[in-house]
């Protein structure tokens, strides 16, 4: 029997062996040249420590609090699409894992398990990640369902007016899997586009006109705290605070959207300085080890989110 994996890179190799190529590529790939995909990881590697010695570390408490929810460590589960491509239990299994680790799961808009299934499966603290579609009433319906099912916050992903150009998906003619929460709300027809079916569908459905003024609309349809995901500059961080978000997630969407965006760890400090402690800042992108988490915390993040994209091996 092969040795147990000891780090995330080794899990990734197991995933590569286990998954159909189309799905593995979807999970692992980035946009275009995958420059940012590499940078997200390599920028962490360039940061080294200045360790001090003879400090009493015999008792360590890693717990922290995100929007009043105490979690066992500053690591929460990022929203990621379609877990059932990897496991038949899908996001229900992920939520159980979050509950057993006493952390938060952010359920993706593009999940393969429904809001209701996830809520009924365990007592994990869940946030709901939202994409805004041209049909705005769908967002309102989903937000109400999330509220009704005990989700504690909304995460508005703001870096995807169009889906990034993911060339592996284009080559594989990636098929859009079922959008569980949209059943009965949006046509599930398969696009006839010759490239990535996913990209074609996103182009048709996503509201590319979404802008800062729409935060007011979002606040008018929910009482949940809203975090904004996809901030990479001090200018946008300041705007986010001005429109009243409850938290900021520094993210480049795992390098799946705009290639040549900066590595997230390289812009974290800029955002932290601009925000001046007014709202909590979380980050994701390239976090692969505990030392990466520590680097993010040292640069001012309150927690990180982890997902599962990586370099193609
Ligand atoms: C397969 C996959 C699917 C994703 N789906 C979503 C999604 O539905 N919504 C979203 O806001 N972000 C999505 N993301 C981005 C993640 O939430 C997160 O920002 C990113 O993956 C963090 O970088 P990392 O993969 O290096 O950990 C996805 C990422 C991956 C790898
Ligand atoms: C209509 C399909 C949109 C898929 C977006 C999922 C996502 O955010 C990602 O793959 O990244």
pLDDT tens digits, one per residue of 210-219? 999 999 999 9
Q: Which residues contact residue 55 at a Cβ distance below 8 angstroms, ignoring those fewer than 6 apart?
A: none
The one catalytic residue among 35, 45, 83, 253? 253
The answer to whether the CB of 123 falls within 8 A of the CB of 98 is no
Q: What is the pLDDT of residue 175?
A: 87
Q: What is the pLDDT of residue 81?
A: 96
Residue minimizing CA distance to atom 1 of ligand 2: 202
Could you tell me the distance, in angstroms and rounded to a whole number, from the CA of residue 118 to the centre of ligand 1? 18
> What atom in ligand 2 is closest to the CA of residue 205?
1
> How does DSSP assign 71-112, residue by residue?
ESSSEEEPP-S-GGGT-TTHHHHHHHHHHHTT-EEEE-TT-S
Q: What is the pLDDT of residue 313?
A: 45
Could you tell me the distance, in angstroms and rounded to a whole number, from the CA of residue 221 to the centre of ligand 1? 25
pLDDT, the chain, mean: 94
Q: What is the pLDDT of residue 194?
A: 63
ipTM score assigned to the predicted complex: 0.98
Could you tell me the distance, in angstroms and rounded to a whole number, from the CA of residue 222 to the centre of ligand 1? 24
| pLDDT mean values, one per 10 residues, the chain (313 residues) | 83 92 96 98 98 97 97 98 95 97 97 97 97 94 97 98 95 89 77 71 92 97 97 98 98 98 98 98 97 98 86 48
Q: Is the beta carbon of 133 within 6 A of some atom in ligand 2?
A: no
C-alpha dist (Å) from residue 262 to 95, 151, 195, 215: 30, 31, 27, 25
Round to whole Å and give the CA distance between 153 and 146: 9
Which one of the ligands is nearest to 206 CA? 2
253 among known catalytic residues: yes
Given ligand 1 and candidates 254, 259, 262, which is best to mutate, with the most ligand atoms within 8 Å of its CB?
254
pLDDT tens digits, one per residue of 156-194? 999 999 999 999 999 999 988 888 999 888 875 655 556
Beta bridge partners of 157: 229
Minimal CA–CA distance to 286: which of 262, 269, 258?
Answer: 262
């Amino acid at each position: 029997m092969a040795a147990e994996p000891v780090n995330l890179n080794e899990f990734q190799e197991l995933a590569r062996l286990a998954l159909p190529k189309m799905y593995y590529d979807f999970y692992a790939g980035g946009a275009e040249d995958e420059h940012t995909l590499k940078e997200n990881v390599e920028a962490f590697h360039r940061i080294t420590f200045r360790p001090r010695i003879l400090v009493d570390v015999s008792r360590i408490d890693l717990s922290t609090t995100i929007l009043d929810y105490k979690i066992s460590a500053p690591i929460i589960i990022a929203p990621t699409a379609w877990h059932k491509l990897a496991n038949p239990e899908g996001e229900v299994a992920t939520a159980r894992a979050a509950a057993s680790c006493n952390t938060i799961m952010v359920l993706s808009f593009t999940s393969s398990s429904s809001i209701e299934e996830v809520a009924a499966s365990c007592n994990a603290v869940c946030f709901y990640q939202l994409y805004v579609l041209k049909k705005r009433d769908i967002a309102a319906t989903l937000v109400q369902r999330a509220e009704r099912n005990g989700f504690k916050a909304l995460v508005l992903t703001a870096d995807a007016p169009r889906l990034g150009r993911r060339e592996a998906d284009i080559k594989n003619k990636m098929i859009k899997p079922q959008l569980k929460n949209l059943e009965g709300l949006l046509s599930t027809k398969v696009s006839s586009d010759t490239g990535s079916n996913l990209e074609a569908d996103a182009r048709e459905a996503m509201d590319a006109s979404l802008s800062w003024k729409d935060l007011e609309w979002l606040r008018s349809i929910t009482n949940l705290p809203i975090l904004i995901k996809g901030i990479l500059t001090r200018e946008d961080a300041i705007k986010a605070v001005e429109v009243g978000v409850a938290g900021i997630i520094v993210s480049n969407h795992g390098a799946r959207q705009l290639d040549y965006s900066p590595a997230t760890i390289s812009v974290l400090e800029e955002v932290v300085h601009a925000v001046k402690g007014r709202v909590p800042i979380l980050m994701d992108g390239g976090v692969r080890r505990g030392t990466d988490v520590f680097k993010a915390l040292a640069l001012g993040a309150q927690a990180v989110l982890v997902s599962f994209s990586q370099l193609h091996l």
